[in-house]
Protein backbone atom coordinates (compact mmCIF):
# COMPACT_ATOMS: atom_id res chain seq x y z
CA UNK A 1 0.00 0.00 0.00
CA UNK A 2 2.80 2.37 0.91
CA UNK A 3 4.43 2.20 -2.58
CA UNK A 4 1.06 3.01 -4.13
CA UNK A 5 0.62 6.02 -1.86
CA UNK A 6 4.11 7.25 -2.68
CA UNK A 7 3.43 6.84 -6.41
CA UNK A 8 0.17 8.78 -6.16
CA UNK A 9 1.94 11.51 -4.22
CA UNK A 10 4.61 11.83 -6.91
CA UNK A 11 2.00 11.91 -9.68
CA UNK A 12 -0.04 14.54 -7.84
CA UNK A 13 3.04 16.70 -7.32
CA UNK A 14 3.95 16.52 -11.02
CA UNK A 15 0.40 17.39 -12.07
CA UNK A 16 0.45 20.37 -9.72
CA UNK A 17 3.79 21.57 -11.03
CA UNK A 18 2.82 21.32 -14.71
CA UNK A 19 -0.64 22.86 -14.28
CA UNK A 20 0.77 25.76 -12.29
CA UNK A 21 3.33 26.66 -14.99
CA UNK A 22 2.57 29.34 -17.58
CA UNK A 23 3.30 27.55 -20.84
CA UNK A 24 1.86 30.32 -23.02
CA UNK A 25 5.23 31.98 -23.65
CA UNK A 26 7.31 32.83 -26.69
CA UNK A 27 10.93 31.76 -27.01
CA UNK A 28 13.26 34.43 -25.59
CA UNK A 29 14.55 35.35 -29.06
CA UNK A 30 11.05 35.84 -30.57
CA UNK A 31 8.01 37.99 -29.93
CA UNK A 32 4.36 38.24 -30.92
CA UNK A 33 3.76 40.23 -34.10
CA UNK A 34 1.34 42.47 -32.21
CA UNK A 35 4.33 43.70 -30.21
CA UNK A 36 6.46 44.38 -33.29
CA UNK A 37 5.42 48.02 -33.63
CA UNK A 38 5.76 49.97 -30.41
CA UNK A 39 8.47 52.57 -30.95
CA UNK A 40 9.75 54.74 -33.75
CA UNK A 41 12.85 52.54 -33.81
CA UNK A 42 10.64 49.50 -34.46
CA UNK A 43 9.06 51.26 -37.43
CA UNK A 44 12.44 52.33 -38.80
CA UNK A 45 13.85 48.80 -38.51
CA UNK A 46 10.89 47.33 -40.39
CA UNK A 47 11.22 50.04 -43.01
CA UNK A 48 14.93 49.25 -43.43
CA UNK A 49 14.04 45.60 -43.97
CA UNK A 50 11.85 46.59 -46.90
CA UNK A 51 14.71 48.52 -48.48
CA UNK A 52 16.70 45.29 -48.27
CA UNK A 53 13.82 43.40 -49.87
CA UNK A 54 13.67 45.96 -52.68
CA UNK A 55 17.41 45.62 -53.29
CA UNK A 56 17.10 41.85 -53.64
CA UNK A 57 14.67 42.42 -56.53
CA UNK A 58 17.37 44.07 -58.64
CA UNK A 59 19.92 41.26 -58.52
CA UNK A 60 20.19 37.55 -59.16
CA UNK A 61 17.12 35.69 -60.36
CA UNK A 62 15.01 38.83 -60.72
CA UNK A 63 17.41 40.25 -63.29
CA UNK A 64 19.05 37.21 -64.87
CA UNK A 65 15.86 35.31 -65.65
CA UNK A 66 14.44 38.06 -67.84
CA UNK A 67 17.73 38.88 -69.51
CA UNK A 68 18.46 35.26 -70.45
CA UNK A 69 15.25 35.22 -72.51
CA UNK A 70 16.61 38.07 -74.63
CA UNK A 71 18.00 36.94 -77.99
CA UNK A 72 21.11 39.06 -77.42
CA UNK A 73 22.47 36.44 -74.99
CA UNK A 74 24.25 33.26 -76.00
CA UNK A 75 25.47 30.51 -73.71
CA UNK A 76 29.22 30.00 -73.30
CA UNK A 77 31.31 26.87 -72.76
CA UNK A 78 30.68 27.10 -69.02
CA UNK A 79 26.91 27.17 -69.52
CA UNK A 80 26.19 23.59 -68.36
CA UNK A 81 22.46 23.96 -69.21
CA UNK A 82 21.95 26.26 -66.24
CA UNK A 83 18.53 27.85 -66.66
CA UNK A 84 18.38 26.05 -69.98
CA UNK A 85 14.60 26.10 -70.35
CA UNK A 86 14.58 29.84 -69.69
CA UNK A 87 17.39 30.47 -72.18
CA UNK A 88 15.52 28.47 -74.84
CA UNK A 89 12.11 29.87 -73.77
CA UNK A 90 10.60 26.39 -73.41
CA UNK A 91 7.38 25.50 -71.62
CA UNK A 92 9.43 23.77 -68.92
CA UNK A 93 10.38 27.23 -67.64
CA UNK A 94 6.89 27.45 -66.09
CA UNK A 95 8.04 25.10 -63.34
CA UNK A 96 11.56 26.49 -63.10
CA UNK A 97 12.54 27.57 -59.60
CA UNK A 98 14.05 30.81 -60.89
CA UNK A 99 10.65 31.84 -62.29
CA UNK A 100 8.74 30.88 -59.16
CA UNK A 101 11.31 32.71 -57.04
CA UNK A 102 10.34 35.99 -58.70
CA UNK A 103 6.69 35.38 -57.84
CA UNK A 104 7.30 34.26 -54.25
CA UNK A 105 10.00 36.86 -53.61
CA UNK A 106 7.82 39.74 -54.76
CA UNK A 107 4.79 38.56 -52.80
CA UNK A 108 6.98 38.00 -49.75
CA UNK A 109 7.93 41.67 -49.93
CA UNK A 110 4.30 42.71 -50.49
CA UNK A 111 3.21 40.76 -47.40
CA UNK A 112 6.02 42.42 -45.46
CA UNK A 113 4.80 45.83 -46.64
CA UNK A 114 1.18 44.99 -45.82
CA UNK A 115 2.18 43.90 -42.32
CA UNK A 116 3.96 47.22 -41.84
CA UNK A 117 1.00 49.29 -43.06
CA UNK A 118 -1.48 47.26 -40.98
CA UNK A 119 0.45 47.80 -37.74
CA UNK A 120 2.58 50.93 -37.90
CA UNK A 121 -0.19 53.11 -36.49
CA UNK A 122 0.33 51.26 -33.18
CA UNK A 123 3.59 53.18 -32.76
CA UNK A 124 3.31 55.80 -30.04
CA UNK A 125 4.67 59.17 -31.18
CA UNK A 126 5.43 61.97 -28.73
CA UNK A 127 6.24 64.86 -31.09
CA UNK A 128 4.93 66.20 -34.41
CA UNK A 129 8.33 65.38 -35.93
CA UNK A 130 7.94 61.72 -34.98
CA UNK A 131 4.44 61.62 -36.45
CA UNK A 132 5.80 63.12 -39.68
CA UNK A 133 8.47 60.40 -39.81
CA UNK A 134 5.82 57.71 -39.53
CA UNK A 135 3.94 59.20 -42.48
CA UNK A 136 7.20 59.32 -44.42
CA UNK A 137 7.91 55.66 -43.63
CA UNK A 138 4.40 54.75 -44.78
CA UNK A 139 5.00 56.48 -48.11
CA UNK A 140 8.31 54.66 -48.59
CA UNK A 141 6.70 51.30 -47.85
CA UNK A 142 3.83 51.99 -50.24
CA UNK A 143 6.41 52.81 -52.90
CA UNK A 144 8.14 49.47 -52.29
CA UNK A 145 4.81 47.66 -52.59
CA UNK A 146 3.96 49.51 -55.81
CA UNK A 147 7.38 48.69 -57.27
CA UNK A 148 6.98 45.00 -56.43
CA UNK A 149 3.62 44.97 -58.19
CA UNK A 150 5.36 46.59 -61.16
CA UNK A 151 7.85 43.69 -61.11
CA UNK A 152 5.04 41.14 -60.94
CA UNK A 153 2.81 42.60 -63.62
CA UNK A 154 5.67 43.01 -66.09
CA UNK A 155 6.80 39.41 -65.52
CA UNK A 156 3.46 37.61 -65.18
CA UNK A 157 0.96 39.87 -66.93
CA UNK A 158 0.26 40.35 -70.61
CA UNK A 159 1.03 43.59 -72.42
CA UNK A 160 -1.35 46.38 -71.45
CA UNK A 161 -3.83 47.31 -74.13
CA UNK A 162 -6.42 49.91 -73.03
CA UNK A 163 -9.27 48.23 -74.94
CA UNK A 164 -8.80 44.83 -73.27
CA UNK A 165 -7.09 45.58 -69.95
CA UNK A 166 -10.29 45.27 -67.91
CA UNK A 167 -10.98 41.82 -69.35
CA UNK A 168 -7.56 40.17 -69.09
CA UNK A 169 -6.09 38.71 -65.89
CA UNK A 170 -3.21 40.42 -64.14
CA UNK A 171 -1.84 39.25 -60.79
CA UNK A 172 -3.53 38.92 -57.38
CA UNK A 173 -3.91 42.24 -55.57
CA UNK A 174 -3.10 41.68 -51.89
CA UNK A 175 -3.30 44.80 -49.73
CA UNK A 176 -3.77 43.28 -46.25
CA UNK A 177 -1.58 40.86 -44.32
CA UNK A 178 -3.53 37.59 -44.11
CA UNK A 179 -1.73 34.26 -44.31
CA UNK A 180 -5.06 32.45 -44.75
CA UNK A 181 -6.06 34.47 -47.79
CA UNK A 182 -6.24 32.73 -51.17
CA UNK A 183 -6.46 35.62 -53.63
CA UNK A 184 -7.32 35.24 -57.29
CA UNK A 185 -5.89 37.25 -60.15
CA UNK A 186 -7.24 40.77 -60.46
CA UNK A 187 -7.94 42.35 -63.83
CA UNK A 188 -4.86 43.72 -65.58
CA UNK A 189 -6.27 47.26 -65.47
CA UNK A 190 -6.91 47.02 -61.72
CA UNK A 191 -3.27 46.18 -61.02
CA UNK A 192 -1.93 49.02 -63.14
CA UNK A 193 -4.35 51.54 -61.67
CA UNK A 194 -3.50 50.36 -58.17
CA UNK A 195 0.20 51.06 -58.81
CA UNK A 196 -0.58 54.44 -60.37
CA UNK A 197 -2.95 55.45 -57.55
CA UNK A 198 -0.37 54.50 -54.91
CA UNK A 199 2.32 56.59 -56.59
CA UNK A 200 0.05 59.61 -57.01
CA UNK A 201 -1.02 59.36 -53.36
CA UNK A 202 2.50 59.32 -51.93
CA UNK A 203 4.01 61.81 -54.38
CA UNK A 204 3.23 64.82 -52.19
CA UNK A 205 4.63 63.22 -49.02
CA UNK A 206 8.21 63.66 -50.21
CA UNK A 207 9.14 67.30 -49.73
CA UNK A 208 12.32 67.29 -51.80
CA UNK A 209 12.63 66.33 -55.43
CA UNK A 210 15.74 64.21 -55.15
CA UNK A 211 19.44 64.01 -55.89
CA UNK A 212 21.73 61.87 -58.00
CA UNK A 213 22.29 58.31 -56.75
CA UNK A 214 19.94 58.72 -53.81
CA UNK A 215 19.96 55.64 -51.59
CA UNK A 216 16.50 56.53 -50.29
CA UNK A 217 13.17 56.96 -52.04
CA UNK A 218 12.53 60.52 -53.20
CA UNK A 219 9.77 62.32 -55.08
CA UNK A 220 11.87 62.02 -58.23
CA UNK A 221 11.98 58.23 -57.75
CA UNK A 222 8.20 58.26 -57.49
CA UNK A 223 7.90 60.31 -60.69
CA UNK A 224 10.32 58.02 -62.54
CA UNK A 225 8.29 54.92 -61.73
CA UNK A 226 5.05 56.76 -62.43
CA UNK A 227 6.26 57.68 -65.93
CA UNK A 228 7.10 54.00 -66.58
CA UNK A 229 3.60 52.92 -65.56
CA UNK A 230 1.99 55.64 -67.70
CA UNK A 231 4.09 54.55 -70.66
CA UNK A 232 3.10 50.90 -70.21
CA UNK A 233 -0.56 51.98 -70.01
CA UNK A 234 -0.20 53.82 -73.35
CA UNK A 235 -0.71 57.18 -71.67
CA UNK A 236 2.04 58.68 -73.79
CA UNK A 237 1.15 62.30 -73.10
CA UNK A 238 1.06 61.71 -69.36
CA UNK A 239 4.31 59.74 -69.43
CA UNK A 240 6.03 62.53 -71.37
CA UNK A 241 4.79 65.19 -68.95
CA UNK A 242 5.98 63.21 -65.91
CA UNK A 243 9.33 62.33 -67.45
CA UNK A 244 9.95 65.88 -68.67
CA UNK A 245 9.53 67.16 -65.13
CA UNK A 246 12.62 65.09 -64.27
CA UNK A 247 14.53 65.83 -67.46
CA UNK A 248 13.95 69.58 -67.36
CA UNK A 249 15.00 69.78 -63.71
CA UNK A 250 18.60 69.35 -64.88
CA UNK A 251 19.38 67.18 -61.87
CA UNK A 252 20.20 64.05 -63.87
CA UNK A 253 22.19 64.97 -67.01
CA UNK A 254 23.09 62.11 -69.32
CA UNK A 255 26.63 60.74 -69.36
CA UNK A 256 28.04 61.78 -72.74
CA UNK A 257 31.82 61.46 -72.41
CA UNK A 258 34.27 58.59 -72.28
CA UNK A 259 35.54 59.70 -68.87
CA UNK A 260 31.97 59.98 -67.56
CA UNK A 261 31.22 56.46 -68.80
CA UNK A 262 34.38 55.17 -67.17
CA UNK A 263 33.46 56.74 -63.83
CA UNK A 264 29.95 55.29 -64.06
CA UNK A 265 31.09 51.70 -64.64
CA UNK A 266 34.34 51.69 -62.67
CA UNK A 267 33.59 53.95 -59.71
CA UNK A 268 29.77 53.89 -59.51
CA UNK A 269 29.74 57.65 -60.10
CA UNK A 270 26.87 58.47 -62.45
CA UNK A 271 24.91 61.64 -63.02
CA UNK A 272 22.03 59.67 -64.56
CA UNK A 273 20.90 57.50 -61.66
CA UNK A 274 17.88 58.70 -59.70
CA UNK A 275 17.59 55.94 -57.10
CA UNK A 276 20.46 53.55 -56.34
CA UNK A 277 20.00 51.23 -53.38
CA UNK A 278 22.94 50.99 -51.02
CA UNK A 279 25.31 48.04 -51.40
CA UNK A 280 28.93 47.30 -50.60
CA UNK A 281 31.27 44.31 -50.48
CA UNK A 282 29.79 43.18 -47.15
CA UNK A 283 26.17 44.10 -47.82
CA UNK A 284 25.25 43.26 -51.37
CA UNK A 285 22.36 41.84 -53.33
CA UNK A 286 22.14 38.27 -54.63
CA UNK A 287 24.88 37.07 -56.95
CA UNK A 288 25.05 37.91 -60.65
CA UNK A 289 27.45 35.03 -61.30
CA UNK A 290 25.74 34.07 -64.55
CA UNK A 291 27.20 37.23 -66.09
CA UNK A 292 30.06 38.17 -63.78
CA UNK A 293 32.81 35.65 -63.22
CA UNK A 294 35.26 36.20 -60.36
CA UNK A 295 36.47 32.59 -60.22
CA UNK A 296 40.01 32.39 -61.67
CA UNK A 297 39.47 28.65 -62.28
CA UNK A 298 36.78 29.39 -64.89
CA UNK A 299 37.68 30.82 -68.26
CA UNK A 300 34.41 32.61 -68.95
CA UNK A 301 31.07 33.69 -67.57
CA UNK A 302 28.10 31.42 -68.33
CA UNK A 303 26.38 33.93 -70.61
CA UNK A 304 27.64 36.81 -72.70
CA UNK A 305 26.17 39.24 -75.17
CA UNK A 306 26.21 37.88 -78.70
CA UNK A 307 28.01 40.92 -80.13
CA UNK A 308 29.56 44.15 -78.84
CA UNK A 309 27.23 46.98 -78.01
CA UNK A 310 26.95 49.44 -80.88
CA UNK A 311 27.79 53.14 -80.70
CA UNK A 312 29.70 52.82 -77.44
CA UNK A 313 33.18 54.05 -76.51
CA UNK A 314 35.98 51.51 -77.08
CA UNK A 315 36.34 50.72 -73.38
CA UNK A 316 32.73 49.52 -73.20
CA UNK A 317 32.50 46.16 -74.93
CA UNK A 318 30.13 43.26 -74.47
CA UNK A 319 32.65 41.48 -72.29
CA UNK A 320 33.38 44.46 -70.07
CA UNK A 321 29.72 45.21 -69.51
CA UNK A 322 29.38 41.91 -67.71
CA UNK A 323 32.83 41.53 -66.20
CA UNK A 324 32.64 44.60 -64.00
CA UNK A 325 30.64 44.82 -60.82
CA UNK A 326 28.32 47.76 -60.50
CA UNK A 327 25.52 48.54 -58.10
CA UNK A 328 22.34 48.28 -60.15
CA UNK A 329 20.35 51.53 -60.10
CA UNK A 330 16.66 51.03 -59.49
CA UNK A 331 15.73 53.96 -61.73
In this predicted model, which residue has the larger pLDDT, 314 or 14? 14
Domain ranges of the chain: 33-321
Residue 131 CA: distances (Å) to CA of 24, 118, 218, 322: 34, 16, 19, 45
Cα separation, 245 vs 223, whole angstroms = 8
Q: For 211-240, what is each residue's pLDDT tens digit? A: 888 889 999 999 999 999 999 999 999 999
* pLDDT given for residue 309 in this prediction: 40
The number of angstroms, rounded, from the C-alpha of 293 to the middle of its chain's C-alpha atoms is 24
Closest by Cα among 30, 83, 76 to 304: 76
Are 270 and 211 spatial neighbours (Cβ–Cβ below 8 Å)?
no
Going by pLDDT thresholds of 50, 70 and 90, the confidence category of residue 316 is very low
Question: Considering the domain 33-321, what is its CATH architecture?
Answer: Alpha Horseshoe (1.25)
3-class DSSP state of 214? strand
Q: Which residues pair with 304 in a beta bridge?
A: 74
pLDDT at residue number 232: 96
Q: Which of 155, 229, 167, 241 is nearest to 197 (CA)?
A: 229
pTM for the model: 0.80
Phi, psi (degrees; rounded to nearest 5) at 275: -140, 110
**C-alpha to C-alpha distance for 300 and 294, rounded to whole angstroms:** 9
Cα separation, 322 vs 73, in Å, equals 11
**Do β-strands 185-187 and 169-172 pair in parallel, antiparallel, or remain unpaired?**
antiparallel
**What is the reported pLDDT for 322?**
29
The answer on pLDDT for 276 being more than 60 is yes
| Mean of per-residue pLDDT scores for the chain | 79
Amino acid sequence: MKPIINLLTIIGTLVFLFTSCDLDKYPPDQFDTKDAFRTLTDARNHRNGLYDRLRSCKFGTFTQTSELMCDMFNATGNYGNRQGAIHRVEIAMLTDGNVSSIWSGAYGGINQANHFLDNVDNVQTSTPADATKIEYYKAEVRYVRAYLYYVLITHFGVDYEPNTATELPGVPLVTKFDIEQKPVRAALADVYYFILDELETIETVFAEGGKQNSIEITRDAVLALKSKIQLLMHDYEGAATTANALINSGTYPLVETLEGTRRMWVNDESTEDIFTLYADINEAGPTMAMFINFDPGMSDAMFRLKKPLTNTPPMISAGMCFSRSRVRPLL
